[in-house]
Amino acid sequence: MLVAHQRKRRLRDPERTRERLLQAAFREVHRSGFQSAGIDTILAATNVTKGALYHHFDSKEALGYAIVEEIIAKLVRDRWLRPLLGDGQTIDILIGIVRGLPARPADVRAGCPLLNLAQEMSPLDEPFRKRLERIFLAWQDGVATLLRKGQSQGTVRRNLNPDEAASFLIAMVEGYGSLAKNAQDAKVWEVGITNIVGWLRSLRAPRQSRRGGRRATNRIQDKR
């Protein structure tokens, strides 16, 4: 009786059913890729009927688009865009974010879900490509905006192009992620993080020039 009651409750909660389907589909796509993801595997993981799945998602493609828009986009917001708005100096914020990226062996083996789908689906499905592109562009814009803020505060090098630097940072993060996934070795990712952090430190405004600026200011004040 209890099991039957719980099943009826799930069926009467369409929002929860949809979320369970979406999460199960994300796990399956992350593990197997979108094209190889099995609908039957997703249904078995959720104990939901195929009719219920297609009630919430018109097609497998619609399910994939929802994964991008509702799960992968949220991952980027949580790991990057929200932390970018935190207090502190620009380079310190970026270093903190990079060091906080998932580094467990399981995460390294599976790879970045955003990059996985971009590599698999961008050449095959234009709606997929556009949705993924929007996430990459939001990520790049968020980093570039923070770098500009650092330049205005005098903590980031003035000769830096924020848009190009943001693009390069994303390329490094995703590139090292790909190398680590291919090697199936978390140590490759750890080396990558060390190198990315070293590059980020090189973006700081030169301390010497700042000290020189203060000395010049002090000399002017002394003359007065």
What six digits make up the tokens of 83?
């932390």
76-85, pLDDT tens digit by residue?
A: 999 999 999 9
Q: What is the mean pLDDT of the chain?
A: 89
50-67, pLDDT tens digit by residue?
A: 988 999 999 999 999 999
In terms of domains, do 140 and 205 share one?
yes
Question: Average pLDDT in the 147-159 region?
Answer: 96
In terms of domains, do 155 and 208 share one?
yes
pLDDT at position 12 is 63
In terms of domains, do 36 and 91 share one?
no
Q: How many domains does the chain have?
A: 2
Name the residue with higher pLDDT: 177 or 103.
177
In terms of domains, do 166 and 104 share one?
yes
Full residue range of the structural domain in which residue 196 is found: 68-223
Alpha helical stretches, state H, 154-185: 162-183
Share of the chain above pLDDT 90, in %: 79
In terms of domains, do 53 and 103 share one?
no
Does residue 62 sit within a domain?
no
pLDDT at position 7 is 53
Does residue 63 sit within a domain?
no
What CATH number does the domain containing 100 carry? 1.10.357.10
Does residue 173 sit within a domain?
yes
Residue-wise DSSP of 192-224: HHHHHHHHHHTTBPPHHHHHHHHHHHHHHHHH-
